[in-house]
Amino acid sequence: MSQIFHHSSNTLARITIFGAVFILAFTAWVAEEFFRGAWSTRASQIREQPVPFSHAHHVGGLGLDCRYCHTTVETSSFANIPPTKTCMNCHSQIWSTSPTLEPVRASFRTGNSIQWTRVNDLPDFVYFNHSIHINKGVGCETCHGRVDRMSLTWQENNLQMDWCINCHRHPDQYVRPREAVTTMGYHPAGDQEAIGRRLVQEYHIQDPRVLTSCSTCHR
């Protein structure tokens, strides 16, 4: 009876066992890149909008505060998209004949909403609340990045749960004084660890055990 396996099968088997480590690691890496990378989380991707609104111009250039337009961010779960009237506060006089802004004027004339595309979209089972974060000293920049440098708006972070949890575990590494929540390019005046620990106490930020409880974000 002849051999079923050729002699070279020994080598092949050894290589396969050795290579399996790399194959598994590679698969894990591909999966990681796929599920957490920009392609599936849509981080750093510019969303197309009906009007090419530039935060870089309005915030970085003119120095408008975030809350001039997003008025409800301190009091509501949702940071509102401004109504067309807010755009027209200035654009009734400035750039009032620009063809780029025609959708804005049309919306103001007719009363129909401008259909903006949502940029940061959390899953519906996450009950995120803007006001609590703003009032506890989490800056806009901490989650949304340097909006004052975004000519067109993108989602800065991947919005994965471990990204949320990271801050819920160590709020002292991220909080800033309430007066500076809308500041872009914030630098702590001193040691962030010391400032953070003081602010966590001062603002009564809950213990990480509470902050990382499931029902804090999921109900």
Partner 1 sequence: MRTRSMVEWAFSLPCRLPWRHRKPSILFVLLAVLFSSACRQDMHDQPKYIPLRPSGFFPDHRSERPLVEGAVARGNLDDDDAFYAGKGPDGKPVDTFPFPVTKDVILRGQSRFNIYCAPCHDRVGNGAGMIVRRGYRHPPSYHIDRLRTVPNGYIYDVITNGFGAMPDYAAQIQPADRWAIVAYVRALQLSQNATMKDVPPGQEIPTPQLLSPSGGRK
CB of 11 or CB of 115, closer to partner 1: 115
Residue 93 in contact with partner 1, rule: CB under 8 A: yes
Please identify, among the stretches 4-12, 86-94, 142-150, 186-194, the one whose residues bind partner 1 according to the rule CB under 8 A: 86-94
CB of 31 or CB of 189, closer to partner 1: 31
Contact track, partner 1, 122-141, x by CB under 8 A: -xxx----------------
Cβ neighbors of 92 (< 8 A, separation 6 or more) are none
Sole binder of partner 1 in the list 81, 132, 189, 194 (CB under 8 A) = 81
Q: Which of residues 98-117 bind partner 1 (CB under 8 A)?
A: 112-113, 115
CB of 17 or CB of 94, closer to partner 1: 94
Residue 62 in contact with partner 1, rule: CB under 8 A: yes
The neighbouring-strand residues paired with 166 are none
Nearest to 157 by CA among 166, 168, 144: 144
Cβ pair 128, 144 in contact under 8 A: no
| Phi and psi based region of residue 16 (left: phi greater than 0; alpha: psi -120 to 50; beta: remaining) | alpha
The pair of three-digit structure tokens given for residue 177, joined into one six-digit string: 């004084």
CA max distance for the chain:
96
Residue 10 in contact with partner 1, rule: CB under 8 A: no
Cβ neighbors of 105 (< 8 A, separation 6 or more) are 88, 91, 96
Q: What is the DSSP letter of 117?
A: P
Can you give the binding site for partner 1, defined by CB under 8 A? 35, 62-65, 67-68, 71, 77-78, 80-81, 83, 85-86, 88-90, 92-94, 112-113, 115, 118, 123-125, 179
